[in-house]
Amino acid sequence: MLFHTWTFLIFFPIVFLGYLALKKTPLRIPWLLAASYVFYGWWNPYYLLLIVYSTALDYYVVAWMETCGPPGSKPSPDHGWGDLFSFKLPHASLNAAAWVGRLGLFGSVLLWFVGPLGSRAVCFLSGILCLTIMFAAARRSRKAWLWASMLNNLSLLFYFKYADFFIENANQLFTRMGMSMQWPEAATLMPFGWEYLLPVGISFYTFQSMSYTIDYYLGNLAREKNFLRFATYVAFFPQLVAGPIERASSLLPQFEAAPKIRLKDLSDGASLFLIGLFKKLALANYLSFYVERVYGMPDEYSGAALALATIAFAWQIYFDFSGYTDMARGIALMMGYKLMLNFNRPYLATSLGDFWSRWHISLSTWFRDYVYIPLGGNRNGPVKAYLYLGITFLLSAIWHGAAWTFIVWGVLHALGTMITRELERKEWYHERVPIAVKRFLVFGFVTFAWIFFRAETMQDAWLIVTRIVSSAWSDPAMPALMLGLIALIWVYQWLQESNLRPWTETAWFKVAGSVFMLIWLCFFSSSGGAFIYFQF
Amino acid sequence: MTTETKPSTTLSDSRRRMRGHLPHAFLLTPWQWCTVVILFLCVVFGLPKGCKSWETFEPEVNYRVPYEASQDYWQYERHLDDRNESDTIYFVGDSVVWGEYVSPDGTWSAFLNEQSGGKPQFVNQALNGLYPLALEGLITHYAEGLSGRKVMLHCNLLWMSSPQADLSQAKEQVFNHPTLVPQFRPRIPSYHADIDTRLGRAIGHRWSFLGWVRHLQIQYWDQKDPYAWTLADDGKYPPSYPNTYRMPWSELDFTLLSEPNPDPERGVDSKRHSPWSTDGIGTQRFDWVELKDSLQWAAFQRLCKLLQQRNNQFIIILGPFNKHIMAPENRTRFESIESGVKQWFVSTNIPFVATELLDSALYGDASHPLTEGYRNLAVELWNDPNFTDWLSQ
């Protein structure tokens, strides 16, 4: 279900009224969970199996992790492979886990050999799950359970998101090496003939669920004992499919007691929703038409059209994604829940580091806290810091999708971040280069990198880059209205970070602006598809 | 990625200069929201009303909603409201009433006006592309103004001539006026729109402002939303984009769409205005749908009941279906259906006139007469005692 659809317009009031009625009863959380599952299952009810799996996995992994002592406790050296088939593990739940692992592994192996080809993916994934559970139960260590969670969550993500990319590249490699071996396509491994589709938002809820396990492992939060509450945290519908990726330490406590909904929450929530709706329907969708036209056939367009389409895409993806998170935050706020800020005028950043502190903040902080800092951060000198930075950006690029274009995009950002970080350390750059120039440079670089993010293939991306710099610039046929809107948006964003900001916060400006947005939406909103970030 | 683990000299100038960290200036207070809602409602109710005075709409005697504006239901409603003299008779129906092959002065209602001595009594209140399922929606949602008025309702059996025409086959079909058909109940097997589209269409009927917005799109922006209009190409290859540097509002000259004069598609001088037999198609077999199974007939029955509920004084005009086009062995089935339709009118006390079969050369296809055919039909109707009785009531 999409926020900007009539279906949601019917769905949300029903959920909201039901929520108000049940707010002070024990049914509040089950109601929210049911609403979230209906919201998610609307696309495809089979997707629910995956989210329930991911939820149950992390819930039980943390429960089993709890039996292994407090954070920092080391496993006894006599716990190891020898206990894999032990019948006398010291804790009843560990014994249960071990038995689940053993029986599951047996079933998986059996099905692999006697079942149809379509059951192999399930056999493989359940085999990994059972093996890791058996091993972690035998080891009785927090770290083993953490690995069990990560391995299984990432296996699922890998199969649905990266398997095709991996298999395609592997098969190409086999051919080049003169080997006749070819791996079957991932789609042929789906059970029951189900369609091989990327489940909407799988990267978001997998990361959200994993953050709970990692935080528990690090001792940053207590175990959530109520399964329904934990499931609601993973599946909370406002932010389920495109973030913000909320941390358990921030959202779970909000589910403990009925939140107080103030009139201000309702008005602020409605304001955020309106802004998000405007960004999506009035801006992002409009820009997308031009971008699709030009990027669909890059060899037929001049350098001017390609350059303008790239700038248009920079704004399209910003409005599309930040519009979604504005709506998500607005909906959650109306129900009394506060979600984190995810975008903060990123195109006014003065360095790449600054850009990433303003763009998709929930993801960039996730990678910072769970990848960059655990790797060593900037504690081991600049060379290692840049190495970790590169790894972090590479993982972030892969998170966005399985394609070489995303990897190039990530590498470009890693290089850009290193360069601007070094430049910021130079006094002449830091003090003398005007902010406007820095902003222009950062925007130019980010926009250039978007070419790789948006292009269908590396060949297309390279073609676009070469045509921008080498082909004759002719009439780009970008509507004047579109150009005007982009210019207005830019001016507005600059106003927001200037001394004139208070002027944009006057009551008459806000009221006039909101009426304008509503009327504009009625006239100009164009029909458009899903949000760009649903594919991640 | 945010890669700084602690604030350092790399803290950006822009962040130091930021006035707080609020991302939006548009967070309204409850009172401001109230103001916004009031202002928005003023616009929603005020603009369509204002539009009626800004747009020049002075329909001629035999005006019909132009073909290009067939989906402009707001305009249809407006036409209805503008012709509200007490003795006006509204002729409601599909393209047979509208006049598929004829010019506005060659339609059935135009010749009826001629029969009445030139008094503009009969109004062509049909739309091109309608059929009973859509007509029901049109009258339900956009013809409140018809309540209590005198109405001639045309019944065209063509819509029961096959499961395809009846929209009762399971295969998805693209058809005219999808917004007017029942969106949820009764279920139409040929209609496969997703639930969101159906909801949007159902809501659109109940919010006339959206109908007015659609009116502007149809009348001024080539049936597109303003964004799509700025991006539209000329359909050639390589394409050019005629509206790229034009602003949508510059098109709002408040001059409504009108029928082309002369119309290359319609009227006695057009190529299409020729007897059906000249196409060389020959006779056809029809896979008639039984009345009890027909969605279109059920919709027509519901429409009759709606008119009764709205205290309309109405008469059904049945036909003229082109029996000449029908294969001889196919006629018995048609006659049984026609007989069933008549029986239902009798059983429900709905007055009706069954038109006589015209000469073969006066039909353009299976159901649309040509200009002379309409003239004959008007004369026949004018002299029909049932019709004159009904007229004099």
- Please report whether residue B235 resides in a domain: no
Splitting chain B (393 residues) into consecutive groups of 10 residues, what average pLDDT does each group show? 37 38 73 96 91 86 91 91 82 95 94 84 93 96 90 94 94 93 94 91 87 91 91 88 92 87 88 87 87 95 95 92 88 91 94 93 93 94 91 84
DSSP track, A404-469? HHHHHHHHHHHHHHHHHHHHHHSHIIIIIS-HHHHHHHHHHHHHHHHHHHHSSSHHHHHHHHHHHH
The helix or strand, by DSSP H or E, that contains position B231, with its residue range, turns out to be helix B226-231
Cross-chain residue pair B247–A496, CB shorter than 8 Å:
no
Shortest CB distance from B14 goes to which of A350, A417, A524? A350
Residue of B10, B32, B216 with shortest CB distance to A424: B10
Distance CA A131, CA B108 (A): 81
Determine the Cα–Cα distance for residues A430 and A420; give it in Å rounded to an integer: 10
Q: How far is B311 from chain A (nearest CA, A)?
A: 34
Please state whether the peptide bond connecting residue A75 to the residue before it is cis, i.e. omega within 30 degrees of 0.
no
Structurally, chain B folds into a number of domains equal to 1
Q: Of how many residues is chain B composed?
A: 393
Note the ipTM here.
0.83
Instruction: Tell me the one-letter amino acid at B227.
Output: Y
Chain B residues with beta carbon closer than 8 angstroms to that of A521: none
Instruction: Please enumerate in sequence order all residues whose Cβ is within 8 A of that of B79, keeping only pairs 6 or more positions apart, or say none.
Output: B57, B59, B63, B65, B123, B125
Q: Which residues contact A351 (CB under 8 A, 6 or more apart)?
A: A417, A420, A421, A423, A424, A438, A442, B10, B12
Of the candidates A264, A300, A524, the beta carbon closest to that of B227 is on A524
Contact A271 B13 (CB under 8 A): no
Smallest CA–CA separation between A288 and chain B, in Å? 11
Interstrand relation of B313-318 and B352-354 (parallel, antiparallel or unpaired): parallel
CB–CB of B84/B145 below 8 Å?
A: yes
Chain B residues within 8 A of A505 when measuring between CB atoms: 25
Is the pLDDT at A247 greater than 50? The verdict is yes
pLDDT 10s digits, A293-332:
999 999 888 999 999 999 999 999 999 999 999 999 999 9
Place of tokens 């692992």: A101
Which of A14, A262, A354 should be substituted to probe chain B, the one whose Cβ sees the most B Cβ atoms within 10 Å?
Answer: A354
| B76 Cα to chain A: minimum distance (Å) | 20
Q: Which residues does chain A have within 8 Å of residue B245's beta carbon, measured at their own beta carbons?
A: 479-480
* Cα radius of gyration rounded to whole Å, chain A: 25
B393, HSE (Cβ side, Cα atoms, 13 Å): 14
Picking from A43, A267, A327, A367 by the largest number of B CB atoms within 10 A of its own CB, the best residue to mutate is A267
CA distance B158 to chain A (A): 35
Is residue A530 pLDDT above 70, yes or no? no
Q: What is the pLDDT of residues B206-228, one digit of tens each?
A: 888 888 999 999 999 998 889 99
* Cβ-defined contact of A435 to B13 (cutoff 8 Å): yes
Closest CA to A230 of A103, A50, A4, A52: A52
CA distance A102 to A120: 18
Contacting residues for A30 by C-beta, under 8 A, at least 6 apart:
A228
- Over 80: is that where the pLDDT of A194 sits? no
User: How far is the C-alpha of B215 from the C-alpha of B230, rounded, in Å?
Assistant: 18
Decide: B14 and A497 in contact? Cβ < 8 Å. Answer: yes
Query: Which CATH number covers residue B276?
Result: 3.40.50.1110
Quick one: tokens of B100? Answer: 């598929």
Instruction: Compute the nearest-CA separation of B19 from chain A (Å).
Output: 7
Mutate to test the interface with A, among B41, B210, B227 (most CBs of A within 10 A): B227
Please indicate, yes or no, if residue B210 is contained in any of the structural domains: no
d(CA B133, nearest CA chain A) in Å:
23
C-alpha distance across the termini of chain B, in Å: 81
Chain B residues within an 8 Å CB radius of A364: 1-2
Taking CA atoms, what residue in A is nearest to B228? Answer: A526
Percent helix, strand, coil in chain A, to 5, is 75, 0, 25
- Domain assignments of chain A as residue spans, ordered by start: 43-256, 272-535
Catalytic site residue from A4, A79, A360, A400: A400
Mean pLDDT on A356-372: 93
| Chain B contact probe: residue of A261, A428, A514, A526 with most B CBs at under 10 A | A514
The DSSP bridge partners found for residue B155 are B318
Catalytic (active site) residue A413:
no
Nearest CA in chain A to B240: A477
Q: At what angle do helices A458-470 and A303-334 cross, to 10 degrees?
A: 120
- pLDDT in the model for residue B370: 95
CA atoms of B391 and B393, how far apart (whole Å): 6
Q: Across chain A, what does the average pLDDT equal?
A: 88
Closest by Cβ to A515, choosing from B5, B36, B210: B36
CA distances from A371 to A147, A391, A402, B3 (A): 14, 9, 19, 10
Q: Given an 8 Å threshold on Cβ–Cβ distance, is B27 in contact with A439? A: no
Strands (E), B237-306: none
Please judge whether A515 and B4 are an interchain contact, meaning their C-beta atoms are less than 8 angstroms apart: no
In a domain, B323, yes or no: yes
Q: Is the peptide bond before B262 cis (omega within 30 degrees of 0)?
A: yes
Asked, for residue B103, whether it belongs to a domain, the answer is yes
Please name the member of A274, A354, A413 whose beta carbon is closest to the beta carbon of B12: A354
pLDDT of residue B15: 40
Q: Where are the beta strands (DSSP E) in chain B?
A: 89-92, 122-124, 150-155, 313-318, 352-354
Q: What is the pLDDT of residue A332?
A: 95
Q: Are B176 and B70 in contact (CB under 8 A)?
A: yes
Cα–Cα distance measured from residue B64 to residue B107, given in angstroms and rounded to the nearest whole number: 10
Contact B23 A343 (CB under 8 A): yes
Subunit contact A389:B3, Cβ cutoff 8 A:
yes
pLDDT in tens, A419-429: 988 888 888 88
The pLDDT assigned to B291 comes to: 93
Range of the domain at B328: 55-191+247-392
Residue B92's DSSP bridge partners are B153
Q: Do B5 and A435 touch (CB under 8 A)?
A: no
Is B3 in contact with A274 (Cβ distance < 8 A)?
no
Strand order, beta sheet including B150-155 = B122-124, B89-92, B150-155, B313-318, B352-354
Say whether B56 sits in a helix, a strand or coil. Answer: strand
pLDDT at A415: 93
Q: What is the token pair recorded at B205?
A: 């009927």
CB contact under 8 A, A353 and B25: no
Burial A278-290 (b: 16+ CB within 10 A, else e): bbbbbbbbbbbbb
- Beta carbon pairs, A and B, within 8 Å: 190
Query: What is the residue-wise DSSP string for A474-506?
Result: ------HHHHHHHHHHHHHHHHHTSTTHHHHTS
> Are B367 and B165 within 8 A, CB to CB?
no
